[in-house]
Structure 1
Amino acid sequence: MEQIKTDLLVIGAGSGGLSVAAGAVQMGADVVLLEGHLMGGDCLNFGCVPSKALLASGKVAHAQAHASAFGVADVVPQVDYAAAKDHVADVIAQIEPNDSVERFEGLGVRVIKEYGAFTGPNTVQAGAHSITARRIVIATGSSPMVPPIPGLADVPYLTNETLFELRDKPAHLLIIGGGPIGLEMAQAHRRLGCEVTVIEGDKALGRDDPEMAAFVLQALRDEGVQIEENALAERISGTAGAITVAAKDGRSFTGSHLLVAVGRKPNIDTLNLSAAGIDHTGRGITVDDSLRTSNRKVYAIGDVTGGAQFTHVAGYHAGVIIRSALFGMPAKQRTDHIPHATYTDPELAQIGLTESAAREKYGDRLEVVRFDLHHNDRLIAERKAKGLIKVMVVKGRPVGVSIAGHQAGEHINLWALVLANKMKMGQVAAMVSPYPTVGEIGKRAAGAYFSPRLFDNTKIKRVVRFVQRWLP
């Protein structure tokens, strides 16, 4: 057994763990990184990257079939599903070197390709290595949750970890779960020529603003995605090519393939957390606002903490704990400035409070500013002028923004800057956007906030009339 002593041990080479390891080693710390599976974690190999690549294939096919509005003949796209998956693999391969063992060893990180398990408060065993560290960061992420639906274990099913290995195009894809993953893959497969049925036990996109979610869901339905809400899966039966999902209310759905996309579970089962005195629940490892566990030498970041499960959250967490673990400086996480997006077409993005949550918190102090995207000239030119931005404002300061429409995930970036720095609507209104850009919608929303204050204000009108009388 090799005995290793180090300043910082990082368990897990997903986006959060890699950010911690890279930052720490370049600041002079001695760093050991453990990864028993794939470098880059879920995001690179099974999640963000491959899903967006497959969505891109679907967008190209959809554009070919809907080109006549631009003076170009519609054509029936000739989809090669296996080639689309080759595109996905190529995208992963282009990004992979950034997350590779070679790159991190080149930075000075010692990478050990083994899973780790605690043997004491600050000691972890990984294969033939026993590692003692001053500080330890758990960044093991999460895995697809497979619900205990009767019959599921007896039929072939896919998760996001196996979907991208599929080479034969599904004739009819059933998807259990109407969240972002389920709906993104529903639209991608529909545009690539599959029949698709989404089976959701509650409301699809139920965690988002209902008005915005309804807009996105209608767009998917218009493309032919069958979305069945309040259809709690009760039993699954059949064989490969003919799988049936029976809902509790008596509805039944049959398809050729089944994708399970009902949520995530933390990767903690093999860590032996009790040996290190680390508290946890079924949702994940318990941490405080500094991302410390009940063991003060151990931090946990990203999905494994059971909070918001986004790659950018893990990256943000990495920055928080680097300040604490390396420099001993107090650092706490915030959640009010964390955006998220669903990358369907149209997209759906949110930061801060939704309208209903803001009304509950602020009552009559809340103003909701709306700007319809059909007023944006660039979107009109590109025939994408559908959607809405809503900004929740209290005393001139945005507390939440919801956007549904073309490139909503891009436009939430402006508001992420605004909320992170506690800026006011006046600062957004002062911005000059080039014309014509889709990005003008942020400034136009700020303008919609000030318009009634300027143009419907009788006092201002009196002042203007008075000044005009005296101007030479």
Structure 2
Amino acid sequence: MIGGGSAGYHAASTASSAGLRVGLIESAERFGGLCILRGCMPTKTLLRSAEIAQLVRESDQLGIRSSSPRVDWPAVRQRKDELVEEFASYRQVSAEKLANVEIICGRAEFLGPDSIEVGGQVLNAPKFAVTTGSEIAIPPLPGLEDVGYIDSDEAQTLDRLPESLLVIGGGAVALEFAQLFLRLGVAVTVVQRSAHVLSGMDSAIGIALAGYLEREGMTVVTETDILGFERAPDGRKQVRVNTPSGERTFAAQEILIALGRRPATRGLGLDRAGVDTDRGWILVNTRMQTSNPNIYAAGDCIGPEVGPLQVVHTAVQQGQIIGNNVAERKPQEFDLRVVPQAVFTDPSVGVVGLSEVEARDRHSSVIVAQETFEDQGKALTMGQNKGLVKMVADGVTGELLGVHVLGPEAADLIHEAVVAMHYRATVDDFARIPHLHPTLAEIMVDPAEELAEMLAMPAPAR
């Protein structure tokens, strides 16, 4: 297993439990991979602090009088660092306890289809798995290197908060950091190339979320074409962009580039191993095999048919599939149809399945229903009634094709839709499931009932 992150660890654990001897190779100084060290866990820790600050600001709405919160950024960062150390240490100890697993430190490089070199040592094995993850991608934008910038790793280790921040990008990472810094007292402007933020998701989600972020005080600029970066006369960093209304300039003390990631596969010698790639992404089938059937791959380094999704639960599942398949148990395959995604903004996002546009491209008949949180009982009691639920279903069979949630606890609410879609439930099945009152989850029933009624109606006369 080349790479000790989420995919590699779970591949090693599954294979070792089947009695295989496993070498788990890690090139980084610390164990744990992106999720533990620089991704999921540290960023969600920081976001929690920012959420508390915002709850204090809004507490008057619930009858709780308080003064404005005072943000202690060093203390916020220290809490994050302590938790990361705890998570990383736990993963290290867990890996060391795996039976039949030897942890090997160093960078691996394929010498051929059945051998690698690690730190001058040649290792041979009948099967390999590449789980090296991804790294931050910085595109060659005019003037960017001259003015300087930070990326999502560096944003977590700043000594002090900037007064203002330009966020270039409108995906999950960009928006989470944008709202984090906004709620910690930084003036934030988001510059996005596409027509709406979260362009890879259903447009209803991105458009609504941008509106909520703007109401909170963020500037969101979409449909832009970056012309270049330069220093403003006052010393701030600025970006010039083309927009539908003409050329505009935005300036801030710091720039955060959040324009995606690329596979961490350079220098692995994959060509010598007979492994096909596409712009560095490793091509795999649903059993996670590469073009060399004895070499597997999983996690952030694969794509495009089975990835790149770049979410840890996918890496975990794919790693477990590899562990099972290399042990030559009953073959398992990765099902791309049911892969949940989340964005931990406020309101948060939880998504599974097809967007409305994707569904209409793939199915001859599609029905759609949408419900907002504005009048949802539990959301109103919480003072958290921003957002919506959108359901997409097959217009003939009623099978759920996609569920899109923007609202309080959306990343948790989406799980019942994941289970329903796993079992290919229809909207009628979903609508018949009892939901506790008063709960946020009740809102999921409303669009399901609306879709079920649509299916029960006779087709309009031609």
How far 1:441 moved relative to its partner?
2.1
* Residue identity (%): 29
Residue in 2 aligned with 1:260? Answer: 257
Q: Shift in Å at residue 226 of structure 1?
A: 1.1
Deviation of the 1:156 alpha carbon: 3.0
Stretch deviating more after TM superposition (162-171 or 227-236): 227-236
**Aligned: 1:303 with 2:305:** no
Aligned residues: 445
Q: What's the C-alpha RMSD, in Å, of the aligned pairs?
A: 2.0
Q: Alpha-carbon deviation of 1:371?
A: 2.5
* Unaligned ranges ≥5, structure 2: none
Is 1:207 matched up with 2:200?
Answer: yes
1:427 equivalent in structure 2: 429
Does the 8 Å contact 1:199/1:231 carry over to 2?
Answer: yes
- Counterpart-to-counterpart distance in 1, 2:324 and 2:14: 10
Query: Against the structure 1 CA distance between its residues 28 and 377, is the aligned structure 2 distance closer, same or farther, given a 3 Å change threshold?
Result: same
**Runs (5+) with no aligned partner, structure 1:** 1-9, 458-472
Match for residue 161 of structure 1 among 144, 153, 174: 153
State the Cα deviation string for residues 22-63 of structure 1 (Å, max 9, x = none).
222122111111111132111111111111111111110001
Q: Once the 2 structures are TM-superposed, how far is the Cα of residue 175 of structure 1 from its aligned partner?
A: 1.1
Is 1:95–2:92 an aligned residue pair? Answer: no
2:241 corresponds to: 247
In structure 1, the partner of 2:225 is 232
Q: Distance in 2 between matches of 1:405 and 1:366?
A: 24
Q: Distance in 2 between matches of 1:68 and 1:211?
A: 30
Task: Tell me by how many angstroms 1:412 deviates.
Answer: 0.9
Cα distance in 1 for partners of 2:153, 2:7 equals: 19
Q: 1:283 to 1:418 in 2, by over 3 A?
A: farther
1:54-133 map, 5 Å:
54-100=46-92, 102-108=93-99, 109-133=101-125
Aligned to 1:279: 276
Give me the TM-score of the superposition, normalised by structure 1: 0.90
Cα shift at 1:160: 1.6
Q: CA deviation at 1:147?
A: 0.5
* 1:1-80 map, 5 Å: 10-37=1-28, 38-80=30-72
Task: Please say if residues 15 and 326 of structure 2, whose CA atoms lie closer than 8 Å, have aligned partners that are also in contact.
Answer: no
Kindly name which structure, 1 or 2, has the bigger radius of gyration based on alpha carbons. Answer: 1
Letter in 2 for 1:362: H
Given that 1:20 and 1:322 are in contact with CA atoms closer than 8 Å, whether structure 2 keeps it comes out as yes
For 2:362, the equivalent position in structure 1 comes to 361
1:329 aligns with 2:336: no
| Equivalent-residue separation in structure 1 for 2:159 and 2:10 (angstroms) | 33
SS at match of 1:34: strand
Please tell me whether the aligned partners of residues 189 and 196 of structure 1 are also in contact (alpha carbons under 8 angstroms): yes
- Residue by residue over 1:219-266, the C-alpha shift from the partner in whole angstroms, topping out at 9 and shown as x without a partner, is 111111111112222322339972222224532222111111001100
Counterpart for residue 135 of structure 2: 143
CA contact (8 A) 1:213 1:348 kept: no
After superposition, the C-alpha distances for 1:60-102 in whole angstroms (9 at most, x for unaligned) are 00011111110011421101112111122122123223321x3
Contact 2:151 2:256 in 1 (8 A): yes
Q: Give the TM-score, by structure 2 length.
A: 0.91
Residues 237, 245 of structure 1: 8 Å contact kept: yes
Residue 241 of structure 1 contacts residue 255 of structure 1 at CA under 8 Å; is this kept in 2?
A: no
- Is contact 1:66-1:74 (8 Å) kept? no
SS in 1 for 2:327: helix
Cα distance in 2 for residues equivalent to 1:208 and 1:283: 24
Tell me the residue number matched to 2:377.
Answer: 377
